[in-house]
């Protein structure tokens, strides 16, 4: 039986800009979040590449990863993910080779194939290559070649980067990356915090096609959840209205900064919109510690995942840190309970 106490638990941070805040404020919140996750013993702290979104400040993902790694001690810091089609693989190899050289053994490289933005911005990012959709599998192979030990005939090398073998994860919200990760024998992370509908299908496909590799001898899957913990179920549900408002905005194509919580969503959405938001957020645990523990353990039992990554998007910075501390207490308490059962 899997639980948050028996598998690694990590944090995904979007460097959210709150209403009334600025990107600078978002970076301060992210660093404080990472430092608390580091102190509490979480495994990884990942940042996601998004562009042209007024509410998310993590566009220069590698730069922000370096900023966070410099102000933490132990936790692995990485991308969840870098949207590889937006970049030349050599550039990503050099960036993450530099990060790995500065922070040895602490850098993860999660790769996605979506643009992380709208079509016009994707074209602006890709420049002359905008009309040609890159082959993701070929890009992954090229990137891995730059991070592998140098070959005698190799004309182009990533310096730094060559031979560092920065750990690569493939990320996805459908079956494509699941299948590729399985075929390559790489770890796979599924974005169930916003695409839960395809979760079980993607995990099944990944495990079915998995081929052992020099990286893994068996499948290794991470799943993501929205988790907000508070002293009571009611308070956690109130804090979670910020996330619900964000996804409501997305449905309406009205992207914006993270809204403060409200006492009730009644009157803010229609029944159809409520159903759409709740379906999108079905992989979520909002509640007091006991509620969150039960919800997470059920989710992990259902998915048989090897790792869990949580998002903790709370508007108020102190409430956000309190949420993370309560989840850390859940993990520690459950771990102690299981140790007593074994003894």
Q: How far apart are CA 187 and CA 89, in angstroms?
A: 19
By DSSP bridging, strand 284-287 and strand 44-47 are unpaired
Per-residue pLDDT at 343 exceeds 50 = no
Per-residue pLDDT at 120 exceeds 80 = no
Q: What are the C-alpha distances in Å from 325 to residues 35, 36, 117, 226, 288?
A: 12, 8, 32, 15, 12
Per-residue pLDDT at 151 exceeds 50 = yes
For 181-204, give one letter per residue: b (16+ CB within 10 A) or e.
Answer: bbebbbbbbbbbbebbebbeebbe
pLDDT more than 70, % of the chain = 91
Q: How far apart are CA 42 and CA 210, in angstroms?
A: 27
Identify which of 16, 12, 45, 11 has the alpha carbon closest to the alpha carbon of residue 28.
16
pLDDT score for 124: 72
- Structural domains in the chain, sorted by start: 9-342 (3.20.20.30)
pLDDT score for 128: 61
User: What are the helix (H) ranges across the chain?
Assistant: 23-40, 61-70, 89-102, 119-126, 136-147, 175-184, 199-209, 233-239, 241-251, 271-280, 289-303, 317-342
Rg of the chain over Cα atoms, rounded to whole angstroms, equals 20
Per-residue pLDDT at 1 exceeds 80 = no
Residues whose CB falls within 8 Å of the CB of residue 143, separated by 6 or more in sequence, listed in order: 84, 89, 92, 93, 111, 168
Q: How far apart are CA 28 and CA 36, in angstroms?
A: 12
Q: Would you place residue 6 in the very low, low, confident or very high pLDDT band (cuts 50, 70, 90)?
A: confident
pLDDT score for 336: 45
pLDDT score for 4: 62
19-33, 90-104, 145-159, 325-339: the lowest-pLDDT one: 325-339
**Strand (E) or helix (H) holding 307:** strand 307-311
14-28, 130-144, 213-227: the lowest-pLDDT one: 130-144
Average pLDDT over residues 201-206: 98
Greatest distance between any 2 Cα atoms in the chain: 66
pLDDT score for 255: 84
Q: Would you place residue 141 in the very low, low, confident or very high pLDDT band (cuts 50, 70, 90)?
A: very high
pLDDT digits (tens, 9 = 90+) for 156-184: 999 999 999 999 999 999 899 999 999 99
Per-residue pLDDT at 149 exceeds 90 = yes
Average pLDDT over residues 68-89: 96
For all residues of the chain together, what is the average pLDDT? 92
DSSP per-residue letters across 193-244: TT-GGGHHHHHHHHHHH----SS-SS--EEEEEEEEE-SSHHHHHHHTHHHH
pLDDT score for 125: 72
Q: How far apart are CA 162 and CA 270, in angstroms?
A: 53
């Amino acid at each position: 039986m899997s639980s948050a106490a028996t598998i690694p638990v990590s944090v995904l941070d979007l460097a959210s800009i709150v209403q009334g805040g600025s990107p600078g404020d978002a970076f301060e919140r992210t660093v404080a979040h990472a430092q608390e996750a580091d102190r509490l013993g979480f495994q990884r702290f990942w940042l996601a590449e998004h562009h042209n979104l007024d509410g998310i400040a993590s566009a220069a993902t590698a730069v922000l990863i370096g900023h966070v790694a410099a102000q933490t001690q132990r936790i692995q810091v990485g991308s969840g993910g870098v949207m590889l089609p937006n970049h030349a693989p050599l550039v990503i190899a050099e960036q993450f080779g530099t990060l790995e050289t500065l922070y040895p053994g602490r850098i993860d490289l999660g790769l996605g194939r979506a643009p992380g933005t709208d079509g016009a911005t994707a074209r602006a990012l890709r420049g002359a290559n905008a009309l040609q959709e890159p082959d993701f599998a070929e890009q992954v192979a090229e990137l891995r070649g730059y991070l592998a030990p140098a070959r005698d005939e190799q004309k182009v090398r990533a310096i730094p980067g060559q031979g560092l073998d920065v750990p690569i994860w493939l990320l996805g919200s459908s079956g494509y990356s699941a299948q590729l990760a399985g075929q390559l024998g790489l770890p796979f992370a599924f974005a169930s915090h916003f695409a839960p509908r395809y979760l079980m299908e993607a995990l099944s496909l990944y495990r079915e096609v998995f081929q052992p590799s020099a990286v893994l001898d068996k499948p290794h899957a991470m799943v993501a959840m929205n988790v907000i913990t508070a002293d009571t179920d009611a308070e956690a549900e109130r804090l979670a209205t910020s996330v619900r408002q964000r996804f409501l905005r997305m449905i309406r194509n009205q992207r914006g900064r993270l809204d403060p919580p409200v006492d009730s969503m009644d009157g803010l959405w229609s029944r159809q919109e409520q159903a759409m938001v709740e379906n999108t957020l079905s992989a979520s645990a909002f509640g007091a510690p006991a509620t969150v523990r039960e919800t997470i353990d059920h989710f992990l039992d259902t998915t048989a995942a090897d790792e869990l990554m949580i998002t903790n998007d709370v508007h108020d910075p102190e409430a956000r840190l309190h949420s993370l501390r309560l989840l850390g207490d859940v993990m520690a308490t459950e771990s102690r309970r299981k140790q007593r059962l074994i003894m």
